[in-house]
Chains A and B, each alone.
Chain A
Amino acid sequence: MGSNLPPRYPAADRAAAGSAAAGQQDARQAVSALYQAHAVGLIRLAVVMLGDRPAAEDVVQEAFCGLYRRWDQLHDPGNAQRYVRSAVLNGCRSALRRLQRETRSARADPPPESTESAEALALVNAEHRAVLGALRRLPARQREALVLRFYLELPEPEIARSMGISQGTVKSTTSRALAALGRLVQEVP
């Protein structure tokens, strides 16, 4: 049961994994336990990616519903956290594409520099606002690479797996994203 999992998994994960082994009727309980343990962290990740709290909560909600629907396909419940993080990132990509399409159809050009809510922005200082504003102006892939690398502090191979690209492309994307961000930060007044 829980003891089969690596010690890096917190108690909630072990409980979740144990529940999975007990049978599919416990899927609801297991997914709920994972949600309790990780929802805030994943909402934070989605907020960093999207800059919008309600959209972030929707993405996370949908990711956990997806996990629940596919629980019986999960070979290793210890991977549930990774699965749901990938689902959140996929959801963020879709949300960003939707936002981009809406922006285009509304002929609002250029795209908004920041989509953070006024409430959230009021809680961060001007320096952080400048960096976040620049981050929002990066192409979605570059933004994702920087968030995974510097917010989640994931190692390169893990970023490669999350984004479905090679490590070399991770390096290239991160490197160019840093360069672009440096230029954009200087442009932001």
Chain B
Amino acid sequence: MNTLEDRIRAATRAIAGTVPPDSAPPLHLPSQPRRLGRRARPGRRWAPWLTPAAAALAVAAVVLGSLALTRGTRPGPPGATGALPGGLPRYYAALVQEPSGPWWAQLRNTTTGAVLATVRPPIPFTRFSEVAAGGDDHTFVLAAIGPQGQPSITRLYALRLDPATRAVRLSPLPIPVEPDRWRVNGLALTPDGTRLAVALEPPGGQRPRLQLFSMATGALIREWGVNARHAPVVGLLSWAPDGRTLAWSYPVHGNGAALLDVTRPGSNLLGSSRIVQIPSWAQLTSGLVLADGGRQMTGAAYIWGGANRDPSGWMVAGFSARTGKPTRVFYRRAFRPGQYINPGTVWWASPSGKVVIASPAAHGHGYPGLAVFTGHRYIPLPWSGWIREAAW
């Protein structure tokens, strides 16, 4: 089957192929590599005292700019004030890659950012690709893939932290994953930690699958399939607090999520799911996290307000799982047209849907930080720029 993905591969390779081998023009390097020490920097025009002055001005500008921008934020301006709300998960698991380092998983403290444990993928696996969290804040599931240079295989592991002793244990789960280049594209552990949803992406042209396994026995409980033409990517999974409804991404015909009632009969993923569209002016930049008994879908979205192809802002919001309309705005930030925006991600929402942990959008190419949003307050948390995925 000639999927859209295959067509992209073919087209991009075709246009790339118009650049013949050995056709690169000669490299023209500057006469001297620039030394980055202060004295050796050529062409420096600033007086030394200007640097601290400029830094102070920049800080003042950022503060004033934030205040100005957040005047439009409802229901309250974000401010790094106040105590953290209760009920936050104490720990999270993060997938980390430091420069030139291997792919690690780390267990971290939510409020202090302290690293409790660092875990490497067991041999022969080379990296962890996915992570999911249970509702108890100290049980996690990791997908490890490898070995390098061969058709990759995936194995699932449980990562458990004993909160009393701080001992950490990584143990293989008895859950089989499709071999031969099938890729785990999403994991979600039910809040009670008894079942694991696994989204699988086939190597090409086959039907993506969603499987539900028992964590205790590894037995396959349910399986759904969907035609690749209708849903080329199944992922971004999130359970409702009752462990009955599972949200998965559904971008093909719009902008929203599909809500699957896992107790309903049927193996057609689309047929068994209810599609909820988000208004087109809000283009999601993260998966939707279910909360408030499955009534609220919490996510991050670009705000599109003009005729041009740039977003005018970014927000963290709760959307109605019935209508898709925003019901609660936790954070909103405006951007200038043409400004490069690094979109953020919603990682966790409290069962009530009133507290959110998210990485807010950032200007430029910088990696976003981390904060708790309550709608009235914005409380930054420690974060590492090397974290690529996290689960609470």
Contacts and interface: CB of A to CB of B under 8 A. Distances in A.
Interface of A: 8, 24, 27-28, 31-32, 35, 39-40, 43-45, 47-48, 51, 53, 56-57, 60-61, 64-65, 68-73, 75-76, 78-79, 90, 93, 97, 100-101, 104, 109, 111, 116, 119-120, 123-125, 127-129, 131-132, 135, 139, 141, 146-147, 150-151, 155-157, 160-161, 163-169, 171-176, 178-179, 181-182, 185
B287 A69 contact: no
B388 A171 contact: no
Contacts of B345: 165-166, 168-169
Contact of A45 (B16, B283, B340, B389): B16
- 4 A-B pairs closest in CB distance: A39-B24, A131-B11, A44-B16, A151-B12
Interface in B181-229: 185-186
Contact of B236 (A132, A157, A168): A168
A181 B8 contact: yes
A86 to B, nearest CB: 9
Q: Which DSSP category, helix, strand, loop or mixed, fits chain B's interface?
A: loop
B340 A93 contact: yes
B298 interface: no
B249 A157 contact: no
Contacts of B251: 172, 175-176, 178-179
Contacts of B35: 72
B235 A175 contact: yes
Contact of A151 (B13, B129, B186, B255): B13
Given A79-B100, A157-B388, A146 B8 contact: yes
B55 interface: no
Contact of B16 (A47, A168, A169): A47
B349 to A, nearest CB: 14
Contacts of A156: 129
B27 interface: yes
Interface of B: 4-5, 7-25, 27-30, 33-36, 95, 97, 99-100, 103, 127, 129-130, 148-149, 185-186, 232-233, 235-236, 249, 251-255, 283-287, 307-310, 338, 340, 342-345, 347, 359, 365-368, 387-390
25 contacts: A27-B33, A31-B27, A44-B19, A47-B16, A47-B19, A53-B19, A64-B29, A65-B30, A70-B36, A73-B36, A90-B365, A100-B308, A125-B14, A127-B10, A139-B309, A139-B310, A166-B387, A167-B130, A169-B286, A169-B344, A173-B285, A176-B251, A176-B284, A181-B8, A185-B4
A40 B23 CA distance: 7
A64 B235 CA distance: 37
Contacts of A120: 15, 18
A120 to B, nearest CB: 4
